[in-house]
């Protein structure tokens, strides 16, 4: 099959990693694949480095030109972002290929699902990365195929681990790690308040926050300063190798208010770490019933208690992490995800 994936995101987050995983797997499976992505962006550069043909676009007008001039060559046009899906919906009368959209969010503003209906009904296959992400279109009576995102094991680099240990003063500390942008939906303030509570009975705890700055960055740093928490909460910024941080951790924590799935949680599970996360979206699917601990979103006190249990019951926490590791390796493997997409593509009426 000839398949073109569309993703115009400027940065490198979970959706871009999943796009690359899918393209790589399809390419290795003998399919003719290509990517239309933002010119000079990290996804375009990484895909090109792996030998995947890339059509660089400066924005939506550039992507429209690609679709109108090159789209006829492909059997499947797969939008990996809502922006790309909107463009496919508008251009559908001019496109001969089967159209696929992967929905990666589980949160919609009031009334948004009704506004999205017009474009969701224009695809030949609507995919969601979790049951949580599938809920909104299903509530409109639309058929949805759930194909979970995937993760692959990444070994830690010993030199990178040592560098992080030295740079952030982690020797002799009980390290917790979170990997999330400093954005409101990731709710760093609740996590900071939870660590403030936790350090009172666990004075050796230190949370290493890996993630790029976002709209909540200033408020997060101000809260750490206000609480005098600088010795217990450190901002590492964006790390290209989060595996190095996970190798230093006793547990992983996520305070997200909304999460369609949570590939960072999956990364931690695959590394065998016990996970404490908010009871939202895909977190429930990954961690329930006995593969992790859940706390209500925005509840710093409960999050702190769950983290204290992990630190105070190391063997039980390790057993919990091992159950999660086994499940993640089985259910969220890249080859399994790619095979599901291959099967989906072959079943489309236009292919």
Q: What is the pLDDT of residue 13?
A: 85
Average of pLDDT values for 254-270?
Answer: 94
Dihedral (Cα; 270, 276, 280, 284), 10-degree rounding: 50
**CA distance linking residue 82 with residue 17, whole number of Å:** 16
Average of pLDDT values for 57-80?
Answer: 96
Q: What is the pLDDT of residue 288?
A: 86
Q: What is the pLDDT of residue 109?
A: 62
Do strands 145-146 and 32-38 pair parallel, antiparallel, or not at all (unpaired)? Answer: unpaired
Instruction: Report percent pLDDT > 70 for the chain.
Output: 97
Question: What is the per-residue pLDDT across 86-128, written as a single tens digit (0 to 9) for each?
Answer: 999 999 999 999 999 999 988 766 667 677 899 999 999 999 9
Q: Is residue 129 part of a domain?
A: yes
Average of pLDDT values for 129-143?
Answer: 94
Cis peptide before 289 (omega within 30 of 0): yes
Residues 341 and 322 in one domain: no
Residues 274 and 146 in one domain: no
Q: What is the pLDDT of residue 223?
A: 98
Residue 57: which domain range? 2-150+333-346
Residues 80 and 176 in one domain: no
Is residue 47 within 8 Å of 66, Cβ to Cβ? Answer: no
Residue 216 pLDDT greater than 60, yes or no: yes
Residues 175 and 118 in one domain: no
Q: What is the pLDDT of residue 350?
A: 54
Question: What is the per-residue pLDDT across 41-52, written as a single tens digit (0 to 9) for each?
Answer: 999 999 999 999
Residues 184 and 309 in one domain: yes
Residues 48 and 183 in one domain: no
Residues 14 and 41 in one domain: yes
Q: Which position has the higher pLDDT, 112 or 149?
A: 149
Residues 180 and 308 in one domain: yes
**CA distance linking residue 6 with residue 335, whole number of Å:** 21
Q: Is residue 265 part of a domain?
A: yes
Residues 227 and 341 in one domain: no
Average of pLDDT values for 121-148?
Answer: 95
Report which DSSP code applies to 267. Answer: H
Q: Is residue 304 part of a domain?
A: yes
Average of pLDDT values for 302-326?
Answer: 97
Calculate the alpha carbon distances from 71 to 121, 157, 194 in Å: 20, 41, 50
Residue 135 pLDDT greater than 90, yes or no: yes
Q: Is residue 351 part of a domain?
A: no
Residues 233 and 323 in one domain: yes
Q: Provide the CATH number for the domain around residue 66.
A: 3.40.50.2000
Confidence at 212, pLDDT banded by 50, 70, 90? very high
Structural domain tally of the chain? 2
- What is the residue-averaged pLDDT of the chain? 95
Q: What is the pLDDT of residue 289?
A: 87
Q: Is residue 194 part of a domain?
A: yes
b/e sequence 150-175, b meaning 16+ C-beta within 10 Å? bbeeeebeeebbeebbeebebeebbb
Residues 31 and 169 in one domain: no
Residue 349 pLDDT greater than 80, yes or no: no
Q: What is the pLDDT of residue 114?
A: 74
**CA distance linking residue 146 with residue 134, whole number of Å:** 7
Average of pLDDT values for 253-279?
Answer: 95
Confidence at 269, pLDDT banded by 50, 70, 90? very high
Residues 139 and 9 in one domain: yes
């Amino acid at each position: 099959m000839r398949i073109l994936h569309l993703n115009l995101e400027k940065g490198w987050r979970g959706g871009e990693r999943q796009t690359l995983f899918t393209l790589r797997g399809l390419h290795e499976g003998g399919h003719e694949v290509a990517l239309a992505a933002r010119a000079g962006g990290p996804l375009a550069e990484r895909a090109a480095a792996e030998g995947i043909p890339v059509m660089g676009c400066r924005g939506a007008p550039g992507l429209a030109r690609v679709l109108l001039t090159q789209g006829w060559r492909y059997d499947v046009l797969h939008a990996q972002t809502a922006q790309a899906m909107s463009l496919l919906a508008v251009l559908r009368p001019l496109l001969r290929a089967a159209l696929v959209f992967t929905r990666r969010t589980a949160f919609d503003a009031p009334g948004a699902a009704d506004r999205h209906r017009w474009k969701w009904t224009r695809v030949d296959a609507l995919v969601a990365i979790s049951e949580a992400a599938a809920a909104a279109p299903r509530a409109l009576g639309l058929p949805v195929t759930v194909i979970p995102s995937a993760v692959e094991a990444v070994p830690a680099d010993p030199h990178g681990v040592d560098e992080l240990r030295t740079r952030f003063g982690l020797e002799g500390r009980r390290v917790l790690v979170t990997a999330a942008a400093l954005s409101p939906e990731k709710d760093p303030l609740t996590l900071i308040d939870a660590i403030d509570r936790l350090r009172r009975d666990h004075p050796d705890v230190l949370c290493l926050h890996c993630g790029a700055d976002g709209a909540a960055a200033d408020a997060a740093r101000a809260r750490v300063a206000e609480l005098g928490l600088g010795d217990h909460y450190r901002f590492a910024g964006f790390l290209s190798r989060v595996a190095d941080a996970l190798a230093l951790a006793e547990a992983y924590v996520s305070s997200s208010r909304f999460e369609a799935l949570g590939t960072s949680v999956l990364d931690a599970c695959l590394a065998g770490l016990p996970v404490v996360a908010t009871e939202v979206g895909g977190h429930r699917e990954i961690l329930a019933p006995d593969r992790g601990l859940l706390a209500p979103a925005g509840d710093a006190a409960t999050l702190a208690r769950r983290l204290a249990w992990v630190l105070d019951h190391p063997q039980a926490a390790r057993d919990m992490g091992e159950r999660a590791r086994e499940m993640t390796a089985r259910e969220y493997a890249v080859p399994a995800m790619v095979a599901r997409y291959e099967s989906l593509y072959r079943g489309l009426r236009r292919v």
